[in-house]
Amino acid sequence: MSGDLLLAFRRVVHLPTNTVVGWRVTRVDAPSEPHLRTPYFRRLADELTETLLRTDGGRRSLRFMAVEADVDEAGELADHLGRVVEDHGLPGPRFGMVFPGTDVVALPEFHPQLRRLVDLDIGVGFCDPDMTLARQAIVDRLPITRLRLHAVHACIREEARMTELIALARRHGITTTVTGIETLDQERIARRAGADMGTGDHLGGWTDVPEVEVSHASALDAVQRVTGRDAPTWPD
């Protein structure tokens, strides 16, 4: 529909049972722009995800949403998602925020903000190979990226390290999600290593996951609220 945004999602699969347990926001399309990219997309996607969950939250497949974010947005996200949970009665576990990168451990000034998200029962995850923040109850999930998958292909010892990391996460009650699964071989690696969740083109990419239309007015309102400035316009 002209004037609408389309949200594309990628399946999040529970690997032990091969069932779809959630969706990860992967793309927003607008008629006048090829794709909206980060960091603008990340903040907009959070608002649009709220709209989707509020209007279609009863669907069994929408048990949670995962959105990537920059760690310096953690405080703002905690405020926003706290209001969403309170205003709309949405349970915190519907939301999952992933903060990519390994530098978070070295940024203690952000740890209280991350803990606020956890206190709201909102999933928080980032690369934490030594479980430093897991031991402090600051995170409850661990993303394992495609870079580690590629490393497994390059060196067989990397698979043992990945398996050990997942086992360590399990001992701390941390959910592990392998991202960027693009081939059957990578899926098998993730399963052998004992990962909880997986996402990637091989498990369901942009071509076969649902796209949800968000009205032009809702999208403009979301952009203005999040960015504090007018959104780009496109013809009806």
DSSP 68-81: E--GGGHHHHHHHH
Q: What is the pLDDT of residue 178?
A: 85
pLDDT, averaged per 10 consecutive residues of the chain (236 residues), comes to 52 84 62 48 53 48 55 67 63 60 64 74 64 62 68 70 83 81 87 88 58 45 45 35
Residues 170, 235: Cα–Cα separation, whole Å:
50
Contact 114, 139 (CB under 8 A): yes
Contact 99, 113 (CB under 8 A): no
Give the closest residue to 99 by CA, choosing from 69, 136, 120. 69
Contact 143, 100 (CB under 8 A): yes
Q: What is the pLDDT of residue 154?
A: 61
CATH of 140-205, one of 3.40.50.11540, 3.40.50.1970, 3.40.47.10, 3.40.50.720: 3.40.50.720
Q: What is the pLDDT of residue 211?
A: 44
Q: Is the dihedral of CA 68, 228, 225, 27 positive or negative?
A: negative
Q: What is the pLDDT of residue 191?
A: 92
Q: What is the pLDDT of residue 75?
A: 67
3-state secondary structure of 195: coil
Domain locations in the chain as residue ranges: 140-205
Q: What is the pLDDT of residue 236?
A: 29
DSSP 30: B
Pair of tokens at residue 201: 């083109």
For residue 131, report the phi and psi dihedrals to the nearest 5 degrees: 60, 30
